[in-house]
Structures are given as C-alpha cells and as structure tokens.
Chain A
Amino acid sequence: MDATKRPLLIPPEFATYAEKHGIFEMYTKLLEQLLINKPDDPLTFLIELLKRDSDDAPQVVIMGPPAAGKRTIAKMVCNRIRAAYLTMDNLIQEAEIEIRKKAQEYIKKNETIPTELWLKIIKERMKSYDCIKRGWVLEGFPQTREQALALQAEGIYPKHFVLLDAPDTVLIERAAGKRVDPETGDVYHTTFDWPSNAEVAGRLEPVPGNSEDELVNKLVVYHRHIEGLKTCYSKILKIINADQPKGDVFAQTITFLGSRLRNAAPHNPRVVLLGPTGSGKGVQAALLANKYNIVNISCGQLIKQAIVDETKAGLAAKPYLEKNMLVPDAILLNILKQRLGQLDCVSRGWVMHGYPKTTEQGEQLVHAGFTPNRVFFLDVPNDSVIERLTLRATDPITGERYHMLYNPPRTQEVKERLRRAPKDSPEEVQKRLGAYQAFVDELTDYYVDAQHVNADQDPHTVFECLESMMVNPIPQRFDD
C-alpha cells in the first residue's frame, strides 16, 4: 500500500507491546514458512503454524572432525535443553522400513547414502512431535555443502551451528584411546575420560575403524568439505576448541546456544544501568545516549532540574534534598514519569541511571508503564571504586581536575593546592557503597534478565560490551 495515501499512525505503546510479544519475529517466521511451503490454503496453514507454538525450540547442528567429541557434547546438550537427539545412525534406525532398507543397502555396499534419501529421512523425522515442540540437535550432519544446501531448500536451517575443532594430531592421538559403551553408545576415553561406573568400564569396546591410517583418510575427507559448510552457515557458526576438558567445551556450547541472532525488529532501547557509585554509569549512559541518539536520564539531575524549574514535584522534593535525606519514592516516581512520558523518550528510547535503587522502585517503574528492555549491572570491586573516587582532586585556581594515579598534577605547587570534593572522602564513598550493597542482591533477583558487565576496565571496553548486549537480543536461559 502507498504509505503517502494512507499514513500509518502507529501508537507508541504498540511498539512496547509488539516487542514484549515478539510480534515482528512471529511475522517473520510466519512469512518465512509461507514462502517455503507455499500452501494452497494459507489460512489453514497459518492456523496450524500458530498452534504449534514452538518459537524457542532449539535447532542445533553439532559438527566436527572424527574424535572431536561430537557425540559426548551432543548428548550433554540434549540432556540440558531437552531436545531430540538425532544422529545419522538413529535417523536411519527410526526411519520407515522401506527407507531404512534402502539406506542399509548403501551402508552394506560401503557407499555413501545419496543426499535425496537423507533429505527424505530427515524431513520425516523433523515433522514428528518432539522435534517440533522441543527442538532438535543434529550430530554430524550435514557433512557437505551440497547436503547443507539441500536441507536449506527444504526449509531446514539450524539456529546454531557448533563446530568442534581440534588439531589433527590431537584427534589422531585421542582416537586411539576411544572406547564405546555398546549398550548406550556413550563414548569414553582410556586416559582422559574413564567411566566412574565399574560395570560400564567392564563392557567398553574399542571402536572399529579408528586406526591412524583410517582416521587420516577420514580427516582428509572432513577437511575437504568443512570449508564449504563454514561458508554455508557463516552467520550461525561458532567454532569451539575441542582440545579442552569436556566441561569447558560444554559450557561454551551452552552459552553459544543461548545467544540469539540479531533481527531487524525495530526496537527502542529502554536501558537501566545499575552499579555502585563510581562504576561509570554516568559515563556509559552519556556514551550510549550520544551514539544511539537516545535520552540520557540521570535521576539526580532530574530532581535538581525539577527543583530549579519549581515544579510541584520539585518543590516537594526540595526540603528532603536540603536536609540531605532521600527523596520519597512517590515524589521521585512523579518526576520520572513526567520525563519518561515525553515524546522524545517514547519515540527514541532512554538510558537511565541512578534509579531504581530498590526493588520497590523497580516495581513502581514497571507499574507506571515504563518497562526497561535491557538492564545492565556494572560490576566493580569496592577497592577499585575507592581508588577511582577518593584520589580525585580539583585545582581551585585553574579548575583543572586531577587523579593522583591516572592523571597526577605536574608540579609540586599544583599538588599542594589540590582540594578533594567533600563527596569524594573515603567515608562518604563507603557510605554510598554500603547503600548500594544493601540492595544489590535484591535487585539482582528482581531483574532476572539483567546482564552483568565487568566495569573495572577501560571505559570504551565497557562501552563496547554494553553496545553488543544492547543491540543483540537477550540470550535465552537454559535452566537445569
């Protein structure tokens, strides 16, 4: 439709609504499926699709050279995320009898199974309930670019592609000690990963076809195809070094599976920065506001502004500030509501710091209709804060600001006349730190989706970290 003929006026609240319910992602998915399947009756098809309700179902491919630990990791991942576990072996086992026979013939003749047959098997399997509802982890397939493209043409495209990588020498060495439990199919290793259960240990068998020559041949085939696969899945690829303890490999894999692809959904950042005094909330907020053209909302500044403007709320807050007391929540919320409700905040987004300080304030904020979509904790150890703040000083004559460690004064003369701001005295800083520590645990519990940043680094490093977290969707959490 011509936008000039029928101007689209979308109320700003709808943006929040759409973001909360993932409307954009849902549309993308529905349209994608429509275009892949091109059903004759799109209405019925869409109803079916919506009823399935499986947006968050993981779809993972775990790939790697022989003996990289694909099976071990895939099994661990499946246990954690409760997805269907698919390997080339069990796919054939569970296929329909006719197809299974065909496939087994190929295996008997020691030939590779043609891509079309694989496609048929996998397509059938993916249609089953557990794959749709709980997602799937496909191990060791596709092996070639051709297979990957064929899957893609059928609309099977994983959300994550994990590539376990290790140097060939490591793999050859590792393969020699590989043992398999014939009953469960679990993989163990004579030196690195011996089963704790004596019964299991008793029935372990060496794997056929793992001699050095055979493995070298397998590796040659693997290296021939892996580059093609990498380009195919470049957007969702994560290479994980498999030459580590399996717990580490697993931890990295799970973290990666939690990440989500950036999508083109329009979103207004509504950021809350939390952190102790001196953690750089103000600095980071200013940087974010500047780069993304969003409104920088400093709670303290707003109160002072309100007092100067002599607004009703400002006048109410004034006596508290003069007596050096905390401004009551109700007044504070009023001031914030007025600012956040203005058009620039609604249409461009905001980054707030200095609020909320307690869980109640956080709840009130949500209640007032201003739900943040990103919450960041800037974590700094107390010692660093004290070092950052108490060593700051100002030259009363030039107004120049110094820091005893990072930006010391040049001459003795200047050094002697430096003055420290009263709010930077160790006692004051301690007091503010204490106030923050009293509520930080409670806030951490309240904001479950909050992300933590190590703020004890260069401001621009912290900024980059925040940027990536703001731009990318919030990672998924897999609870045990």
Chain B
Amino acid sequence: MASDGKDKWPRQVDAHEYLKNHRILDLFDNFTAQLIYNKPEDPKKFLIDQLEKLKNARTTKLDFPCLFDESNIRSIFGMLDPTERGYITLQQYKEALMTLGVTDLDQHPAGGELDRINLDTFTREAKRGLARASATFEESK
C-alpha cells in the first residue's frame, strides 16, 4: 500500500497488518479446506477442536492439524514416479509441492541440479512446507 494510504486510513492499515502478522487469512483458508474435506455435522464444534489442536501444536511445535499426512506425500511421489526409478525431476518436485499448497519451497533441494530428487528429500521438504502452511499463528520472536 502506498504511503499516502497510511495517513488516510490508519485503521485499515492496522487491520491489514494484524491479519498478516497473525496469518489470519491462512488460518481461514485452512479452516475452509478442513470443512470441505470433513463436512462436519456441527462446524462450530469442529472448528473449536481444530483451534484447540492448533493451540497444542503451537506449544509443542508438533502435529500441526493438516489435511495431508505422510502416506499422501508418498502416494504423490508414487504417482510421479510410476516406473519406480526412485527419483523425480525438479519440475515435478516443484509442481507437486505447489499442488500440496506449499508456497515457500526450497528451490534448490538436494539432487536438484541432477534433476533427480529422491523420496526422502521430497518427503522432508513436503512435511516442512506443510507444517509451515498450517502453523497459522504469529511466529514467536
């Protein structure tokens, strides 16, 4: 936003900053994904559960509520590597992570220069990225 906007609408700027710092919009995106996938009978109760889980994850830094688990990541790798060569190309790696919703992926993973990324690297990157995508709260300073 331009600087003159800041003087004009201080509250709007504040609001945007607040949403960004606390990653509120990502949080709601994840809510929607969860709701679409699970279609709970009582969405309110479901969201409360999700929030509780997220709160726990924030303290323990483990088990972020996420739609995908390791088996999903493996099966994606399997789909991209139907002949079981044991590796996928850099292009495939990027596309796959993007599809999973990982936005800030490592552009140069191990084996990237050879266009050969193996399952371990892929799983590690995907997990790291997904955890970051679902850790929708302010990073502690």
Interface residues of A (CB under 8 A from B): 1, 5-6, 10-11, 14, 17-18, 21, 23, 26-27, 30-31, 34-35, 38, 42-44, 46-47, 50-51, 53
Contact = CB atoms under 8 A, between A and B. Distances in A.
A47 B52 contact: yes
Given A35-B15, A50-B51, A43 B58 contact: yes
B55 interface: yes
A23 B54 contact: no
B24 interface: yes
Nearest to A47: B51
Nearest to A27: B28
Q: Which bucket holds chain B's interface residue count?
A: 20 to 34
Contacts, number: 56
Contacts of B52: 47
Interface in B93-120: 98-99, 101, 103
B44 interface: yes
Given A5-B98, A6-B101, A10-B36, A53 B44 contact: yes
Contact of A23 (B22, B43, B58, B137): B43
B44 A43 contact: no
A4 to B, nearest CB: 11
B36 A14 contact: yes
A21 B36 contact: no
Contact of B51 (A5, A17, A27, A43): A43
A17 B42 CA distance: 11
Nearest to B53: A43
B54 A43 contact: yes
Interface string B30-51: 0110011001000110011001
B103 to A, nearest CB: 7
B70 to A, nearest CB: 21
A282 to B, nearest CB: 36
B63 interface: no
A44 B137 CA distance: 11
Contact of B55 (A27, A38, A43, A50): A43
A31 B27 CA distance: 11
Q: Main SS of the interface on chain B?
A: helix
B69 interface: no
Contacts of A18: 35
Given A43-B55, A43-B58, A1 B48 contact: no
A31 B51 contact: no
B140 to A, nearest CB: 11
Nearest to A38: B18
22 contacts: A1-B29, A1-B103, A6-B98, A6-B99, A17-B39, A21-B43, A23-B32, A23-B35, A23-B43, A26-B44, A34-B24, A35-B15, A35-B18, A43-B51, A43-B55, A43-B137, A46-B51, A47-B48, A47-B51, A50-B47, A50-B48, A51-B48
Most buried by A among B19, B44, B54: B44
Contacts of B27: 42
Given A1-B29, A50-B47, A51-B48, A44 B55 contact: yes
A50 to B, nearest CB: 5
Given A14-B39, A17-B35, A26-B44, 20 more contacts: A1-B29, A5-B103, A6-B98, A14-B35, A17-B39, A18-B35, A21-B43, A27-B31, A30-B28, A31-B24, A34-B24, A35-B15, A35-B19, A38-B14, A43-B54, A47-B52, A47-B55, A50-B44, A50-B47, A50-B48
Interface in B52-99: 52, 54-55, 58, 98-99
Nearest to B35: A23
A11 B35 CA distance: 12
Tell which of B51, B101, B103, B137 has the most Cβ of chain A within 10 Å: B51
A18 B54 CA distance: 23
Contacts of B22: 42
A26 B46 CA distance: 13
A5 B48 CA distance: 30
Nearest to A10: B36
Contacts of A6: 98-99, 101
A14 B14 CA distance: 33
A21 B29 CA distance: 17
A2 to B, nearest CB: 9
Contacts of B39: 14, 17
Contacts of A17: 35, 39
Nearest to A36: B15
A35 B11 CA distance: 10
A21 to B, nearest CB: 5
A51 B49 CA distance: 11
A31 B44 contact: no
A35 B19 CA distance: 8
A371 to B, nearest CB: 15
Contacts of B101: 6
A195 to B, nearest CB: 45
Contacts of A26: 43-44
Among A17, A30, A46, A51, the one with the most B-chain Cβ atoms within 10 Å of its Cβ is A46
Nearest to A14: B36
Contacts of A51: 48
A261 to B, nearest CB: 21
A42 B136 CA distance: 10
A317 B125 CA distance: 59
Nearest to B40: A21
Nearest to B22: A42
Contacts of A30: 28
Nearest to B12: A35
Contacts of A47: 48, 51-52, 55
Nearest to A153: B11
B86 to A, nearest CB: 28
